Amino acid sequence: MAERAIPFNQLAKADYNRKIDRKRVNDIKADYHEDMMQAIIVSFRDGKYWIVDGQHRAQVLYELNNCNPNTLIMCDVRVGMTYEEEADLFYRYNTSTRPLTFEQKLNGLIESNDDNAVDFRNTVESCGYVLGKSLKAVSLAWKVYNRANGKDTLTEILSLTNTCWSGSKSGTDSRVIDGMSMFLKNHGDTYQRDHFIKVMSDVDPEELIKEATTFYKAMDSKSFTKKYCMYTCIVKSYNYSLKNKLTPMGPKV
């Protein structure tokens, strides 16, 4: 480790890092004290200085110097680190200093090649979704994935939502995924997949959410969770025109 001043325009940002938070930059500028600006941590790799921690401090100094690209930034330079080691350091450092959002933590794990996180991303992508973009409820999908038989359950959920509601943001809303997980838990071995796709393709997921919300508000019992109300609405839609209808399980199963 060695400290040295590096021009702002020579600093690079890798995919594991956060996007610049304008509010945080403005807050630091509003309460700027030169003696509180510690050196940022960078990794010298492949001829570039990659920011591991401190990109907001670097941005503040750049802007306070009239956005001069040659603004010198004091850096704590690490040498010999791999990309994966940088991502792991970013994850560990920021977890212990400033809380990360779930998406930031997951991205740090993926970029550091954590086997479980990478397989989760690959599972999502194999179903036609992209984390943080077309998949809305990332944290809930992660919880489903980490349950018993979770990978198979999540694959079935996302395969069904993509087939029935491709392109609809509401199709991967947390309430829909929650209800779908309960539906598969209770009826995964007995439901007719082709019928589900045929019927649910004609159901607007946004209307499904509204129906479940109305149902939940009408219930006085604490036993009727939002998840259970969505599940029963899914069962109701699935049963349309079906002779051998499914019977919703009790709210406490």
Name the band, by pLDDT with cuts 50, 70 and 90, for residue 7.
very high
- Whole-angstrom Cα distance, residue 196 to residue 190? 12
Is the pTM value of this prediction over 0.85? no
Residue extents of the structural domains in the chain:
2-81, 129-238
pLDDT at residue 222, rounded to an integer = 66
- What mean pLDDT, rounded, does the chain reach? 90
pLDDT in tens, 229-250: 999 999 999 999 898 899 988 7
Total residue length of the chain? 253
Share of the chain above pLDDT 90, in %: 67
Name the band, by pLDDT with cuts 50, 70 and 90, for residue 157.
very high
Amino acid at residue number 45: R
pLDDT at residue 253, rounded to an integer = 46
Closest of 227, 233, 228, 157 to residue 188, by C-alpha: 157
- With 90 as the cut, is the pLDDT of residue 24 above it? no
- CATH 3.40.50.280 for domain 2-81, yes or no, is no
pLDDT at residue 1, rounded to an integer = 62
